[in-house]
Amino acid sequence: MGSVKHYLNNVICACSEQKFGQDAIAWEIGVGHVPLTMDMAADTARVTSEYDSILEAYRVEVIRNEAMLVESYAPLMAAIQPPIQHSALSTLHSSKDIPSPECECSHCQNYHDLPTHEPEDYEDAA
């Protein structure tokens, strides 16, 4: 078994120096799309000739798996992270926070209720 792993590693490293490319080649070989012949020259030539299509197929598979993972965890995430309540927002603010016009906590509302001064008000004072 060790010699097969070593051979597989040699084929992967001979065909790509990048991690994504190496992962793609390992995936293609693992799912059986690129069968190994145990002839290093033939196997590297075959993988190299199909390298672009291997990368694209792997990229599509990774995106599909990520989407399935996000979808499968959506109910769990909704249960763990309930919507933020207004009372929770008010505890997030301190006097140094930048007030938000969308927030309805007393800190933000008091800030927005303050009178504003226009630049011309300062010119009159001078």
Q: Do 36 and 58 reside in the same domain of the chain? A: yes
**What are the backbone dihedrals phi and psi of residue 78, each rounded to the nearest 5 degrees, phi first?**
-65, -35
Evaluate whether residue 59 is within a structural domain.
Answer: yes
What's residue 81's pLDDT? 75
Domain count along the chain = 2
What's residue 107's pLDDT? 56
Query: Is residue 54 a contact partner of residue 28, using CB atoms and an 8 Å limit?
Result: yes
Q: Do 70 and 101 reside in the same domain of the chain? A: no
Evaluate whether residue 121 is within a structural domain.
Answer: no
What's residue 95's pLDDT? 46
SS3 of 22-33 = HHHHHHHHHHCC
Evaluate whether residue 90 is within a structural domain.
Answer: yes
Q: Within the chain, where are the H helices? A: 2-15, 19-31, 40-49, 51-80, 86-92, 106-113, 119-125
Q: Do 105 and 44 reside in the same domain of the chain? A: no
pTM of the complete model: 0.58
CA pair distance 41, 43, nearest whole angstrom: 6
Q: Do 64 and 104 reside in the same domain of the chain? A: no
Evaluate whether residue 124 is within a structural domain.
Answer: no
What's residue 62's pLDDT? 94
In which domain, by residue range, is 109 found? Answer: 85-115
pLDDT in tens, the chain (126 residues): 688 899 999 999 999 999 999 999 999 999 999 999 999 999 999 999 999 999 999 999 999 999 999 899 888 888 887 665 555 444 554 444 555 666 666 655 655 555 555 555 445 554
Tokens for 46, please give them.
């075959």
User: What sign does the dihedral 30-35-39-43 (CA atoms) show?
Assistant: negative
User: What sign does the dihedral 32-70-19-16 (CA atoms) show?
Assistant: positive
Q: Do 70 and 25 reside in the same domain of the chain? A: yes
